[in-house]
Chain A
């Protein structure tokens, strides 16, 4: 019975059946179902959502709803978890990400953060208008394998270059891979900024991180 409840929850979440998913999650938790297992099934459902997004069956509306359902179920389950883990799988690696100095746009970066998160990476999101010194501080503190620089405006080209130059000056450039992202990015701008790779959307970001993490 509980086994099928768990399967049903994965299906409801993956198929965007929000009302049914929440009702079932509540019923399971109220009925004494292990909240950790409920969160693990959420992760399974997010894997399916991520795969459907990559397959271009799902788009931003589905991703946003998946994120909402995940927080709603987490809010039900997390208060009941007394000790131990948080339902997360072993992390594939750490990514420090932010929109570069001068640019206040965050829609694209947030989607990349969300996709990396549900793909098994630990994401430290520094927000928008992030100065090189702030990146360096976060990098020194967290020691990430990957740094993601996001930008929507063309001014971000210069900011990305300045940020990566600052990494070199601080002597940390070789400690991680750098990806730049945003609709305007191309190979010419990758070369201009000195990044290791560029991506135009969240799918490319996940695929880059997977390749660097050897996943």
Chain B
């Protein structure tokens, strides 16, 4: 029979991929899921404790704070990224001269190391006299009598980490939207103009619908990356002041590596899985629909 022989060959060709998927995705995920059901402490063998870690976190006031902080950080960053990304794309789409130069220039934050970005923004918001950029400028201009401690308040610290995250990622949004805008047929704009549509109407009824899929894909991808962000928050605030900027990734790190409670640390990350699965399902659905 030919079928079993073909199946064997197919398995043979698929096996490298299968090994990669199982080894790099399925096994680590299954292991993480298992660890979340144990009381694993660093250096000790794990013991099955069922859903005790989940129950603990649901009752943990710091974890409640972490959920709230993560949502504020993610949603705040996303809104800024979409708005500035659109603005960047609109400007670059309208400019012909130097467009490639500006496109390259705007990509600089995207290609810069995240740690460098975080340190730079930390320096920008610093209240140390003569060092923090904003304070130095405002003090030298005579607009301030004393430096402002931007990162000493919960709101200020959250604002600072959102700004740093936004600054790193908005070029990705801008370049994606620009590509999308350039794919919208010129005739649609001409037809809309003939019908009396102004700039706002053209944007609302032609540009935005034309960018719909790109908007969804970029938002969902960025949502996944932002909700898992560690570097910016850790370098800039360590989750402080207090727990004001503690997010999933930093709290998970603190519990797993400082408190040595690996099981609980993994559970913190696992809590994100349903949200991430939904996000991935959404992106996949749209991507597959496009293909169809």
Do A and B pair up? The answer is: no
Contacts from B to A (Cβ < 8 Å): none
Contacts from A to B (Cβ < 8 Å): none
